[in-house]
């Protein structure tokens, strides 16, 4: 069995619907033959300010914590306002986690866990609780 993992930074469309269309056409020869499993990266999710949030969970980064030296980059304008909406509309997770944001699946003898780099992973967070279950 074969599958392809693409953990974020998918098409760098950054708010352009036409670039999403071009990207989907480019991956079609592969994605139509093998499972193409994705999750979001900063270029699909990051945005500073009010925004839609299909994950239902707050964006989080280490720089949000007191005493952190910074440099993570989350909370910038990387997605140009996409906030995960086009990605969530074009791709599905497996239904056992939080959409495309975090989920897992079995393929042969391999258990794959997809996690979001854009959400809180600390003890007590939704993603952490799901991972522990």
Type and span of the H or E element at 112:
strand 110-114
CA distance 122 to 65: 12
Computed from CA positions of residues 41, 1, 27, 97, in that sequence, does the dihedral angle turn out positive or negative?
A: negative
Note the pLDDT of residue 125: 92
Query: What is the value of pTM for the model shown?
Result: 0.83
Closest CA to 98 of 112, 83, 85, 88: 88
Tens-digit pLDDT profile for the chain (133 aa)? 789 999 988 888 888 889 999 999 999 999 999 999 999 887 787 766 666 678 888 777 665 565 555 555 555 666 666 778 888 889 999 999 999 999 999 998 999 999 998 888 889 999 999 999 9
Q: What spatial distance separates the first Cα and last Cα of the chain, rounded to whole Å?
A: 27
Closest CA to 20 of 88, 115, 75, 116: 88
């Amino acid at each position: 069995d074969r599958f392809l993992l693409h953990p974020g930074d998918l098409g760098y469309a950054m708010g352009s619907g036409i670039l999403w269309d071009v990207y989907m056409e480019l991956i079609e020869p592969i994605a139509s033959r093998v499972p193409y499993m994705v999750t979001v990266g900063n270029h699909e999710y990051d945005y500073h300010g009010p925004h839609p949030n299909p994950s239902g969970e707050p964006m989080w980064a280490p720089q949000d914590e007191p005493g952190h030296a910074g440099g993570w980059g989350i909370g910038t304008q990387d997605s140009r306002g996409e906030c995960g909406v086009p990605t969530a509309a074009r791709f599905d997770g497996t239904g056992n986690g939080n959409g495309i944001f975090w989920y897992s699946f079995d393929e042969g003898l391999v258990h794959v866990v997809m996690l979001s780099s854009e959400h809180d992973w600390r003890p007590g967070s939704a993603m952490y609780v799901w991972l522990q279950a």
